[in-house]
Structure 1
Amino acid sequence: MERLAGKIMLLWGARRWAVSFLAGALGVLSQPPFDFFAVLFVSFTVLVWLLDGASGNAEAGILGRLRPAFWTGWWFGFGYFTGGLWWLGNALLIEAEEFAWALPLAVFGLPALLALFYGLATAFARALWSDGLGRICALACGFGLAEWLRSFVLTGFPWNAIGYGAMPVPLMMQSSALIGIFGMSALAVFVFSVPALIATRRGLAPGLVIAVLLLTAHLGFGYWRLSGPLPGAEDDIIVRIVQPSVDQSKKWDDGERKQIFETLLSLTARPSDTGVQPTYIIWPETSVPFLLTSNPAALTMIGQTLTEGQTLITGAVREESVQAGQAPRYYNSIFVIDDKGQIAAAADKLHLVPFGEYLPFASLLKSAGLDTIANTPGSFSAGSRRYTVPVQENKYFLPMVCYEVIFPAKMAAEGPPADFIVNVTNDAWYGNTPGPYQHFRQAQLRAVEAGIPLVRAANNGISAVTDARGRVLSGLSQNVIGYVDVKLPKKIHAVGSNWSANLAFWLIIALLLIGATVSRYSFIRTSN
């Protein structure tokens, strides 16, 4: 092991960057649909050894000294994000004649940008580097901060945070209810990096003890939560998820709109497998292929399809008129429609996808011939606030449109506490790739963190209902056309909150920083 560590540490130039890239790319196997979390022990062990040899010119100032560490982390991140996000390019092939030119930007450009965060993480860690357990603390601290920064810098994109790799099954998801995904990411990097200590044996004993204690607590807490009594289901409340699996290339085709709408109505009208008619019917994101508010006939057909007491919750584009002479605004919204075909409530998506739903620096980029990928009359506008939406039976749901569900901070909402999460999405853009599996996993974790069940309707999958502990009760896999009826699970008492998870995260960061700083100070004093 010492010889292997030495060879990796002494790598330089292209070989160093190649090994770092491959170590990051290998780490993607920890994410869905592979869920092989043990591979991260290899990825982060190699990264630690690479950073051991990433010493810059001492006379070049602090930036010069940290430059090799930055590029080591950048190549690691470039491999990780390229391997984990290549499927984004599939969205550009739906209308290839218009967007195929941008394929390299999606497949390599976004990963190159996201890799900057991991480069900063390793540069930060290298500034506090030592020869024992302290460097493991420094690396975990750096990655924890990097994942936190990824959640909001440049609108944020915390996709495939390292912590998700440590939570492949509900047993291993429960800790996120206490410390959140960013706390999980910091502690996961610590545990996955500990094997690097085997090569030098400095700090190995305490490192192994701490790692074993963390793993034991992680699994023990999960077992304790899952071994408790089931939360049960709401009496006589059945949720129906409708999955039409519409081909994305046909979704906005004028000749297909009628057939798409009739398919949604047909799946809605079918008798329930449970013997009790569904109370809530959920259609996916933008599933209605026209503007509902401009099509009273469609609302009438919905009212005629719903039976007494049923409510439809559907994703659709909402048009809002503005001043005369100005173009209307469009919103990616969730509508609540009662059994008379009347719109009872609506909620707009707040966190839009850059270049997908709106164009940053629109006037400049449109003059260069660029446009949004989503086929709408214009760029979407963002909603102004998030609130829980009322439905029948004095129930409230938390609306989450598409990738809003990957942001833990977006779970905060005005209004009465939510009884369940409704996540409508359209992952047909990404075809049969890891993307929809990764998206579903992140939605699953929001239910665990909030202690409320998740009802997820995806155009082509993965659609599912999970309980408040993240266990899948029923669902539909990718590309299945159909529906599933499930009793709505009850919410549970949440063991944490956004506030307490943030507090736990910063406490973890503080402890790791103290460990790294003390070790660094001792290392410098011993060296002198």
Structure 2
Amino acid sequence: MLAIAQPPFGILPGLLGYALLLWALERDLGTKNPNRTAFFMGWLAGFAYFFVGCFWVAEAFLVDAETYGWMAIPAAALLPAGMALFWGLFAVVYRRFAPKGQIRFLWFAALFSLLEMVRGMIFTGFPWNPSGATWRAGSAMSQIAAYVGVYGLGFFTVLIFASVGVIRRYRAEEGRGLQGYTAVLAMVLTLCGLFAVGQYRLNTTTITYSDYVVRVVQPNVGQAAKWSRNGFKAIFNDYVAMSRQAPAPGKPWPDLIIWPEGALPVSSDDLFADDSWTAPVMVNLLRDKQALIFGAYRSDYDPKLGNIWRNSLIAVQQHEKVFEIQGYYNKYKLVPFGEFLPFEDALESIGLTELVHIGDGFTPGKRTHPVTYGSIPRFLPLICFEGIFPSLDMSAYTSADVRLRPKWIVNISNDAWFGPTTGPQQHMNLASFRSIEEGLPMVRSTPTGVSGLIDPLGRMMPQTRLGSQDRGIRDIVVPNPLPATPYSASRFWIPSLVACIFLFFVTVGLLSRVVLRTPDNLR
């Protein structure tokens, strides 16, 4: 139920699954080992949720089926099985410490949300489909993320729908009226209030536009096509031709062209090598004062690690017939098993390797931060996987920091790994929450997936959208940022509040157990 509530399915009555989970965990689970039973119930619910949400992970292993195909089914099972451990732990802790009375749904929501945050951070983190992202980005309810972030919105979501699980029906002779429905009635009002706040934000926010024009290039290239014998030359020429295509009559040439992550199946070292046939083409690709952003892997040197490989966003610019590399942003959040292999020594011994088999895998760069390259307006770079993480940039922006705040977000991604599944649509929805949280527009570019402009309210602009399996270019006028959102100024105050609620109930629960077990003559 909870999985089909998530985009792209969007069957929101499925959110009542939180009430069902609360109700199920409060049943009589037997006296033999109720904690083990509760853990299995929670784990099984989590496994089903993440399997439906992440089945597309198998598609990545089928790109090179001859080498990695045997890993597809284990990966599709092991990923949800691992993430479901958080749900199993949740079930056990809820059973042990839940308070009595209707207030227990607050404890349910606080504990669930706290463990969702832990899931998004621990062991590099994987915050795919958190409860707050059930609401389609750009909708009225999604706007609450501008105040409390996607985790805070998740807390309210679980709180509201879990309240149904504590309904108590009294007999008519008890004369208690609606008392057993108090929690639900309060949460219905809360839901209406949050919806009204979000709708008001949508209705009263005016989006203004800069004069900066960006071209997104999406050639509809599948991941397997990049590795064919003649694939590189055809793909490269395609990107060049689409980048040089004249704009519509009366429209200006773009100031910036964006290619996606993994646009070309070669390193930037080879792309710009003096003896390559591609270097002269790249040098003459751009018009004067025009810039290009693209994703590529490259070699680098680290004083401590020696020669390493990076997954980088590269910015280049043409200025008075001089072609210059303006800067690199090195991906900070790498994909486990995709771009690096955790517990490398142990896992390699049983035959596992990372999917992107370049050297010994990629090395992460410094924490994500706003960058300025040449004449490109200051932006926050997010490469693929990084778009699903709230607050990778930990700066707290206020009106005094306006010059340090980025003007927009650039999200280059390689959704070709996901194939024609629900993965690209989920990825776009998750990334769009970064625009809501930060109050910044986002330009998104993938080789085949969902590319286009996401406005500062998290709405994908239909006229700019290139959907999965679409081919084309979009010349986009970048909107101006909104004023700094409450979330971008305070970041994790809602997670802190949730943690305080969690600790309060644990403390009360422990103290009550101590009091109940203390003999009367010692009280």
Instruction: Please give the TM-score of this superposition, normalised by the length of structure 1.
Output: 0.87
- Matches of 2:69 and 2:34 in 1, distance apart? 40
State the alpha-carbon separation in 1 of the partners of residues 302 and 501 from structure 2.
Answer: 52
How many Å separate the matches in 1 of 2:243 and 2:334? 29
Aligned equivalents of 1:289, 1:65: Cα separation in 2: 53
List aligned pairs for 1:155-174, cutoff 5 A: 155-167=124-136, 169-174=138-143
Q: 1:262 to 1:40 in 2, by over 3 A?
A: same
Alpha-carbon separation, structure 1, partners of 2:278 and 2:15: 51
Q: Where does residue 10 of structure 1 map in the other structure?
A: none
Superposed CA deviations along residues 329-364 of structure 1, whole A, max 9, x for unmatched, are: 111100001024321111000111111111123234
Match of residue 445 from structure 1: 433
2:103 counterpart SS class: helix
Residue 459 (str. 1) matches residue 447 (str. 2)? yes
Tell me the distance in 2 between the aligned counterparts of 1:185 and 1:447: 17
Partner of 1:503: 493
Quick one: which of 477, 480, 485 aligns to 2:470?
480
Alignment of 1:299-378 (within 5 A): 299-321=279-301, 328-339=307-318, 340-378=322-360
Alpha-carbon distance between aligned partners in 1 of 2:164 and 2:40, rounded to the nearest angstrom = 23
Note closer, same or farther for the CA distance 1:482–1:193 as it changes in structure 2 (3 Å cut). Answer: same
Aligned-partner SS, 1:338: strand
The aligned counterpart of 2:151 is: 182
Q: Match of 1:277, SS?
A: coil
C-alpha change, 1:514 and 1:399, in structure 2 (3 Å) is same
**Residues 174-195 of structure 1: per-residue CA shift (max 9 Å, x gap):** 1111111222222211111122
Equivalent residue for 1:31? 6
Range with greater deviation from structure 2 (506-515 or 249-258): 506-515
4+ aligned runs moved over 6 Å, structure 1: 515-526
| Contact 1:408 1:498 survives alignment (8 Å) | no
Asked if structure 2 preserves the Cα contact closer than 8 Å seen for 1:56 and 1:66, the reply is no
Residue type at the aligned position of 2:232: R
In structure 2, relative to structure 1, the CA distance for the partners of 1:199 and 1:281 (3 Å cut) is same
Q: Distance in 2 between matches of 1:413 and 1:401?
A: 18
Q: Deviations over 1:22-76 (max 9, x none)?
A: xxxx2111111112222111x122212211115453xx7xxx5533222221111
Aligned in 2, Cα 1:515/1:204: closer, same or farther, shift over 3 Å? farther
1:136 paired residue number: 105
Alignment pair present for 1:255 and 2:230: yes
Where do 5+ consecutive residues of structure 1 fail to align?
A: 1-25
Letter in 2 for 1:31: Q
2:168 and 2:180 in contact (8 A); partners too: no
Structure number with higher helix proportion: 1
Letter in 2 for 1:29: I
1:445-486 CA-partner distances (Å, limit 9, x unpaired)? 001101111111011020021111112222100111111111
* 2:213 corresponds to which of 212, 216, 238: 238
Task: Work out whether residues 135 and 516 of structure 1, in 8 Å CA contact, stay in contact via their aligned partners in 2.
Answer: no
Q: Deviations over 1:394-441 (max 9, x none)?
A: 621111111111111313369932111111111111111111111111
Cα 1:507–1:309 shift into 2, 3 Å: same
The alignment's C-alpha RMSD in Å is 2.8
Contact 2:210 2:478 in 1 (8 A): yes
Q: 2:175 corresponds to which residue?
A: none
Question: Are the counterparts in 1 of residues 5 and 12 from structure 2 also a CA contact under 8 Å?
Answer: yes
Q: Distance in 2 between matches of 1:183 and 1:159?
A: 15
Residue 198 of structure 2 is matched in structure 1 by 222
Q: Do the aligned partners of residues 51 and 271 (structure 1) sit closer, same or farther apart at CA in structure 2, a change above 3 Å counting?
A: same
Q: Select the residue among 163, 172, 176 that pairs with 1:194.
A: 163
For the residue of structure 2 that corresponds to 1:276, the secondary structure is coil
C-alpha separation between the residues in 1 aligned to 2:110 and 2:340?
Answer: 34
CA distance in 2, matches of 1:370, 1:288: 25
Residue 12 of structure 2 aligns with an amino acid whose one-letter code is F
Distance 1:406 1:519 in 2: 35
Match of 2:365, SS state, is coil
CA contact (8 A) 1:130 1:519 kept: yes
**Does the 8 Å contact 1:398/1:413 carry over to 2?**
no
**Shift, 1:522, TM fit:** 9.2
For residues 510 and 216 of structure 1, do their structure 2 counterparts lie closer, same or farther at Cα, with a shift above 3 Å needed? farther
Separation of aligned partners in 2, 1:363 and 1:118: 29
Amino acid across the alignment from 1:142: L
Distance (whole Å) between structure 1 residues aligned to residue 285 and residue 183 of structure 2: 62
Would the alpha carbon gap of residues 499 and 389 (structure 1) be closer, same or farther in structure 2, given more than 3 Å must change?
Answer: closer
Change (3 A) 1:225 1:515: farther
Is the Cα contact below 8 Å between 1:134 and 1:516 reproduced in 2? no
Aligned residue for 1:102? 71
Q: Residues 294 and 313 of structure 2 are in contact (CA less than 8 Å); yes or no, is this contact kept in structure 1?
A: yes
Which residue of the partner structure matches residue 17 of structure 1?
Answer: none
Kindly state the Cα deviation for residue 523 of structure 1 after the two structures are TM-superposed: 12
Q: Is the 8 A contact 1:311 1:391 kept in 2?
A: no
Q: Tell me if structure 1 keeps the 8 A contact 2:337–2:354.
A: yes
CA separation of 1:322/1:147 partners in 2, compared to 1, >3 Å: closer, same or farther?
A: closer
**Structure 2 unaligned blocks of 5 or more:** 171-177, 397-402, 519-523
Contact 2:226–2:264 under 8 Å retained in 1: no
- The answer to whether 1:270 aligns with 2:260 is no
Cα distance in 2 between the residues matched to 1:54 and 1:351: 43
Partner of 1:9: none
Corresponding residue number in structure 1 for 2:259: 283
Return 433-442 or 496-505, whichever deviates more.
Answer: 496-505
- Call closer, same or farther: CA 1:160–1:229 in 2, change over 3 Å: closer
Q: Distance in 2 between matches of 1:246 and 1:520?
A: 57
- Whether the 8 Å CA contact 1:240–1:486 is kept in 2: the answer is yes
Distance 1:132 1:403 in 2: 41
Equivalence for 1:434: 422
What secondary structure, in the 3-state scheme, does the structure 2 residue paired with 1:472 have?
A: coil
Offset at 1:386? 2.8
Q: Helix, strand or coil for the counterpart of 1:448?
A: helix
- For residues 135 and 169 of structure 2, the distance between their equivalents in structure 1, rounded to whole angstroms, comes to 26
Letter in 1 for 2:465: G
| Per-residue deviation, 1:248 | 0.8
1:21 aligned partner: none
